Each structure stands twice: as C-alpha cells, then as structure tokens.
Structure 1
Amino acid sequence: ARAFISRGDEMRREFDALVTDLVHATDPASHAVPRALLYRFLKRITAHSVNVVTAVVMPVDRLDYHDEADDTRV
C-alpha cells in the first residue's frame, strides 16, 4: 500500500508535467486541449485512489487534512 501511495504521488507530478508541456507546445488546440483534460482527469482519479488507500493504511487519528509540504503519509 505504501508503494502505491508513493507511486501515486509520482504519477500526479508526471500528469502535471504533461499538462505543463502541453501549455508550452505548438500542437493545435484541437489536440492539446483534450490531452490536457485527460491528464487532469487521470491525475484526479490517481489522487482519489491514493486517498482511499491512505485511509485504509493510516490510523484513524491521523486521517485529517495534511499540508503537502509536511507529508507524513509514508
């Protein structure tokens, strides 16, 4: 489960990088926009999946909002 959480965090960063690349690309909007939407959707699914797994492996008293800079999930 902890490996999944770690990989999920990596995937979210990768999806963000892909969207950033599309913003700076010269691809036509008809190609770039659907891809950007897909990457954002996949990032959202990944984030929700990580949240579910985190809820399963974390003690109840530690399940609360966490600051991204102070990530204590793993």
Structure 2
Amino acid sequence: MTLPWARELCPHGITANIVAPGWIPVERHAGFDESGHLADVPLGRMGTPEDVAATASFLASEGGGFVTGRRVAVNGGHT
C-alpha cells in the first residue's frame, strides 16, 4: 500500500513508508530461548526497540524526506 499512498500524497509533500521490524524481544518474551532465532540473523545480535525507533525517526526526519513508497525491514538481515 505504500507505493499508491506515496504517489497520491507526494504532491502534498507527504511521504509514505512502512517500518517492518523483525522479531524484537521485549519483556513479554522473557524466558524465551533466542539462540535458535539468533543463529539465523546475519548481524549476529537481536534487534531492540531502539533499532526500530531509530528507523522510524529517520524516516520522519528531514533526512528521510526523499524516501517514500518503501517498506524498510529492520531485521538484522534475517529475511
């Protein structure tokens, strides 16, 4: 849906993107064995809520102002 939205909203100076986080362990995952998932993440670490927030913050910033119609995966390379 981001591409049609981007095409419709760009003339108004509005960008449209999707942030697609991978599995991000948070408090509700306490006690979950992450080792199986971690073995499939090329960056070799689990993502954090801050990783997702930084991506969203970039897209909402002036620096991300020329990015539109994209799905941005925040998953450490685990596709």
Shorter-chain TM-score tier: 0.3 to 0.5
**What's the TM-score once normalised by structure 2's chain length?**
0.32
Q: 1 or 2, which has the higher helix percentage?
A: 1
**What's the TM-score once normalised by structure 1's chain length?**
0.34
Q: 1 or 2, which has the higher strand percentage?
A: 2
